[in-house]
Structure formats: C-alpha cells, structure tokens
Structure 1
Amino acid sequence: MKTISDRIFELLKERGMSQKEFAQRTGIAESSISDWKKKKTNPVSDKILIISEVLGVSPYYLLSGAEHRGERSRENMLYVISKDSELGILIETYQSLETGMQKKLQGYLEALADLNKSEE
C-alpha cells in the first residue's frame, strides 16, 4: 500500500518538479522532504492542504490515493476550513454555545434561508 509520501514523490516525478522547487513552493524545509523519502515518514497533517494545492490534487487523493470522480463515487461529506477564516470563526462560536442556543441558531438560519428563497 502506498503512503502519502510515496504519492507525493510520484506526483513530483509526474510534474517534473524537483524537491527544491517543491520545498520553495510549499514552505516546507528540504530536509523534511528528504526525511519522507529516506525514513519513509509522512508530512505532518497541517501541511496536507498546501501540498495538495501545489501538486494540484485533492487532500482526499493525497491521503487515500483515490479521487472522487464519477457517479459511483460517494459525495464528499467533509470540508477543510481554516480556523482563522470567517466561516471558521463562525463554527468556533457555534460550538461554544449551549445546545439550546445552537438549536435556536439553526432555526434562525432555516428561517433566513426560507426568506432568501421567497425573495428570489
């Protein structure tokens, strides 16, 4: 079974990208990238998004080796959201609320969505 680092090095080869260029574009130290190859280790999880972006593949592909394609694939049920983004802050705030308040907020959102539909 291929590891994440195996897929990264295959993608680098396919794209004709050197480890040095990859390091520059991702901001990952060349020594870390070399360790993935020599020591058969994988990148830390917080680097997966930038690696995926630089290599032009989805994080799902990088982690699993499978791409979400075609009608037989399952719908992607996950989002990757930065905690610093507006949506990330909204989610953090929502999670800090008590359950009753979360349910009220969900009700407000549903009412706003219905109102938005009726105005279209």
Structure 2
Amino acid sequence: MKNPGQRIKNRRLELKITQKELASRVGVAHVTISQWERNDTSPRGDRLLSLSEALHCEASWVLRGDVVPNTPLSATSSARDLLTPKENVLLDLFSGLPASEQEQLIAMLKEKKRHYAQLLTELLHVRDKKKA
C-alpha cells in the first residue's frame, strides 16, 4: 500500500469495522476518517495515536507502512488474550498498586502520551517543511 489513506482503509476493512465505528473509537467525525482514507488529510498527534490504537497497529505503520500491524484475536477470546505479554505484565503491576498510586500513574502516562503526540506532530511538521 503506497499511502497512509490506503493503509487506513485496508486495515479498517480487515477489522470489519465501518468508518463510523472507527470514527467513534478515535473520537473524530466519520467525515474525518473518509478524508484520511482518501489521503486528503493525514492524522496527526493524538488523533494518530488514537487511530493506531483503534486499528491495532503502530503509528509508524499508518504513516510509512514500515511495521506490520497486529491481527486481533477472534471475538471469543478473553480480554487478556488480546493483550501483549508486556500489557499483561503492566496490568498485573498496576492492579497491585493502591488506588491513589493508580491515579497518579494514569496521570503520568497521559502526560507522557500527550508529550509523545506533541513531539510526533513537531517531527512531522519539520519533515513536511523539508519536503516543500
């Protein structure tokens, strides 16, 4: 697949979800999904991260196609089966913390994700400037 729009659309179809369902998972209008799939616009920052989570793939795959996306297990699998080994370890560790520590950890991770999204947006902006 040559462009992000094609990758987004093909992955969505592989997962058997509609544009509206994907839009709901990502937190955007279904028109936005359509624009991304037509390659009219590209997802950026938090939207890119939310999209990659919804499509069970890496953000770099959406943008460059360089990493093969994960194929989710069947709907009959348990929720734990859908997680990677690292995610299961994190879940176990998180569950062992007191509630107050869990809240602090959630806040810290949200800030890390926000910072990563901002950095990714800045890097893409620099890349786009170099192409122009």
**TM-score for the superposition, normalised by structure 2:** 0.47
| 2:43 paired residue number | 44
Unaligned residue ranges in structure 2 (runs of 5+): 69-108, 116-132
Match of 1:84 among 98, 108, 111: 111
Distance 1:52-1:37 versus aligned 2 partners, 3 A rule:
closer
| 2:18 paired residue number | 18
CA distance in 1 between partners of 2:61 and 2:50 (Å): 13
Question: Shift of the alpha carbon at 1:83?
Answer: 8.0
| 2:2 paired residue number | 2
- What's the % identity of the aligned pairs? 30
Aligned residue-pair number: 74
RMSD of the alignment, in Å? 2.7
Question: Shift of the alpha carbon at 1:11?
Answer: 0.1
CA distance in 2 between partners of 1:85 and 1:53 (Å): 16
CA distance in 1 between partners of 2:28 and 2:4 (Å): 15
Q: Which has the higher contact order (CA 8 A, sep 6+)?
A: 2
Unaligned residue ranges in structure 1 (runs of 5+): 69-81, 89-120
Q: Show CA shifts across 1:34-67 (max 9, x none).
A: 22345x3133312111100010001111111111
Question: Shift of the alpha carbon at 1:21?
Answer: 0.5
Distance 1:37-1:60 versus aligned 2 partners, 3 A rule:
closer
| 1:28 paired residue number | 28
Q: Show CA shifts across 1:6-50 (max 9, x none).
A: 100000111101101001111111111222345x31333121111
**TM-score for the superposition, normalised by structure 1:** 0.52
Indicate if the aligned counterparts of 1:3 and 1:42 stay in contact, CA closer than 8 A: no
Q: Runs (4+) of structure 1 moved beyond 3 Å?
A: none
Distance 1:48-1:18 versus aligned 2 partners, 3 A rule:
same
CA distance in 2 between partners of 1:61 and 1:27 (Å): 20
